[in-house]
Structure 1
């Protein structure tokens, strides 16, 4: 025969099992939430796996290092600028004060902006989604954070006269890429539109005839 203590333990276990099963049956959202989370995780990993890296800019580490050094020196210049101005004002030379402010201001403000102007078009990576034929280009912004832009081949415009550090325009955004850094030259040809039929831009024949008659 079971003791009174063992009988109470069995009753407690049966009560807990009954309560747990009733909660699951009355609130199926708990199981559904687990299923949704598993599906979301699997979909994210699937999206990451289907992207293929077709381009890598070799200057990415150098650009990041130079920008970090430039921004760090700018913050240091901002902190040291009041001290330098105070010490220069004690000397009493106006020309020395103007020269020091010009040098400190140049390295504090002009250098980071100049570096950003030169490197903001440089593409560090391009990933390709074969299912949607979409390209994902990555470049570095002013605060050294990666920024991506999604585009397709039909969104690319190759200017007749490319600007400085500009190879193409993707949705109006000027970008700089190099053909030799693609994993396959076919990707570069598709992005630049070299696989399309040539347009020699012969002009309108009727307009030429009217101009000749004049």
Structure 2
């Protein structure tokens, strides 16, 4: 009788155990995707951070001011847009005067006036039409809007505006730089025979300006010359 009761109790408890085992197995199976999802979410910020770190390192190694052909940007003029705007306005005014001249002569009757009046009129129109643009170009043709430097070749590339308001490229070596004997308003140095105008205070690194002008090479010799002059004065 007792073995029969034990057998029935075991058979009755077996389904409950099976149900609990199956329930725990189902919970584990359902929990695995959730765990995997949480693990993926936890790992994603690390991946994003690593990608951001790589991007920052790549940006820090390449400067936006470097030019693949001209080299490193060492100077940028702050009056480039002003020079371009003034020259464009002057050219536009000259073209407008040329088109309006026949109309003005027709309406004003200057064509039938004396030669003196005609000469004065043509001279005034010629000043605003031709002399002003030519003068502006002569004064601003050497204004450097950008200056690049190649360390390995010790060469500079100066970007200026030409007569048709397009950028002009001038390449020269440091040894081609000549400093004028007399200070000129629109000339800082000569690149071979071409006058160049730069603002020394706009160089981010003052050493770049010193190397451009050759001050880093000639300072020692200038000091020696000064000592020689002092010794000569003492001897006298």
Q: Which moved more, 1:67-76 or 1:160-169?
A: 160-169
| 1:77 equivalenced with 2:97 (yes/no) | yes
| Aligned equivalent of 2:195 | 174
TM-score using structure 2 length: 0.60
Q: Secondary structure at the match of 2:160?
A: strand
* 8 Å contact kept, 1:129–1:135: yes
Cα root mean square deviation, aligned: 2.4
| 1:184 equivalenced with 2:185 (yes/no) | no
Q: Secondary structure at the match of 1:61?
A: helix
Q: Decide whether aligned partners of structure 1 residues 160 and 128 sit closer, same or farther in structure 2, where only a CA change above 3 A counts.
A: same
Structure 1, unmatched stretches of 5+, are 1-45, 204-214
| 1:115 equivalenced with 2:136 (yes/no) | yes
Q: Decide whether aligned partners of structure 1 residues 91 and 179 sit closer, same or farther in structure 2, where only a CA change above 3 A counts.
A: closer
TM-score using structure 1 length: 0.66
- Structure with more of its chain in helix, by fraction: 2
Count, aligned residues = 158
Structure 2, unmatched stretches of 5+, are 1-65, 230-236
| 1:198 equivalenced with 2:211 (yes/no) | no
Q: Decide whether aligned partners of structure 1 residues 47 and 119 sit closer, same or farther in structure 2, where only a CA change above 3 A counts.
A: closer
Rounded to whole Å, the distance in 1 between the matches of 2:166 and 2:119 is: 35
Rounded to whole Å, the distance in 1 between the matches of 2:70 and 2:89 is: 36
Rounded to whole Å, the distance in 1 between the matches of 2:70 and 2:125 is: 49
| 1:153 equivalenced with 2:174 (yes/no) | yes
